[in-house]
Amino acid sequence: MKRTTLLLALLASLSLPASAMAADAPTASRSQGADNFYRSPTVKGERVTFHNQFQMEVVGTLYRPQGLPEGSRAPAVVVGHPMGAVKEQSSQLYAQKLAEQGFVTLAIDLSYWGESAGTPRHLVAPEIYSDDISAAVDFLSTQTFVDPDRIGGLGICGSGSFVISAAKIDPRIKAIATVSMYDMGAAARQGLNNGQSLEQRKAIIQSATDQRLVEFKGGAAVYVPGTVNKLDADTPAIQREFFDFYRTPRGAYTPKGDTAELTTQPLFSSLVKFMNFYPFNDIETISPRPMLFISGVTAHSREFSEDAYRKAGQPKELYWVKGAGHVDLYDRTNLIPFEKLTTFFQRGLATQ
């Protein structure tokens, strides 16, 4: 258990670039247009359920644009939440804003998180996460008010890598956009800015494997501090950035059956599954479907959008948001480029 504790501390603080120390203080970043729990005056959400190919129930919130003509079929967008979050955090905001522009949108809880099925809770399972997105496309394709030939995918943070992973083997996803994307595989293998050594990676793998056996024998589960529950003088700046969203009224949300202290925290013994996750391998095969990568200029995660853009085929665009960090684009409506996303999906999902 001592080794596990040390490794968890490493995971919480690994590879934070020095430039990140300029991140906003918690009290500052709850302003500047932050509106995670936005409620649209023109579109209403409907709770829906469906099953992925693993026969697990996926739960989402479906939004329909106002005034759709009877018998018409609209373009649609699946929206995936940040890794460790749930649909009520960031993705429902994006889904409503796009629905206001004429898209049917579906914000989903990935399996093992939020209202969706899966035990143990908070399990890391990138293959299943990607299948959840394709299952959402299945669901949308069966709705009489959706054009099944005009469905796109939008992934925020970790879901950016899951949307890409899904799109590589699901040609029904006609246009792909990511915001503040994390390549969850690269982040697990080498940390930010390649700051994690092979020796550190192997130590994490060994510790996670040891913990897996503990749980197999009936021992208590251990969770990675995806977001810490309190700040101290030694808390790294990136953790402070996430804390300000997930641990304050700005973005804190506890799904039914969960506990506030465990929200955002993946099951440690399963975290190593990300090390076998390579979402950008063969990303060029998505072409000629369009791809849009959106990142804040000062985002600590910008390297992942740059890497994906470099490897992707045409047509593609890397769009920089001035004055924005990583978490800023979760909910700050005065920074999120909704017009850019609207134009991208209008063009990418235009009638052929």
Angle at 215 between CA 214 and CA 218, to 5 degrees: 95
Does a cis peptide bond (omega within 30 degrees of 0) precede residue 315? yes
Q: Tens digit of pLDDT per residue, the chain (352 long)?
A: 444 444 444 454 443 333 333 333 333 445 779 999 999 999 999 999 999 999 999 999 999 999 888 889 999 999 999 999 999 999 999 999 999 999 999 999 999 999 999 999 999 999 999 999 999 999 999 999 999 999 999 999 999 999 999 999 999 999 999 999 999 999 999 999 999 999 999 999 999 999 999 999 999 999 998 899 999 999 999 999 999 999 999 999 999 999 999 999 999 999 999 999 999 999 999 999 999 999 999 999 999 999 999 999 999 999 999 999 999 999 999 999 999 999 999 999 998 6
Copy the structure tokens of residue 199.
């020796």
- Given 3-state DSSP classes, what are the helix, strand and coil percentages for the chain, each rounded to the nearest 5? 40, 15, 45
Give the C-alpha distances (Å, rounded to integers) separating 310 from 281, 314, 318: 12, 10, 9
Q: Indicate left, alpha or beta for 323 from its phi (over 0: left) and psi (-120 to 50: alpha).
A: left
Do the Cβ atoms of 14 and 195 come closer than 8 Å?
A: yes
Instruction: Report pLDDT for 11.
Output: 54
Element at 320 (helix H, strand E): strand 316-321
Which residues touch 156 (CB under 8 Å, ≥6 apart)?
79, 80, 81, 82, 90, 91, 94, 178, 179, 180, 329, 330
**Closest among 88, 62, 90 to 74, alpha carbons compared:** 62
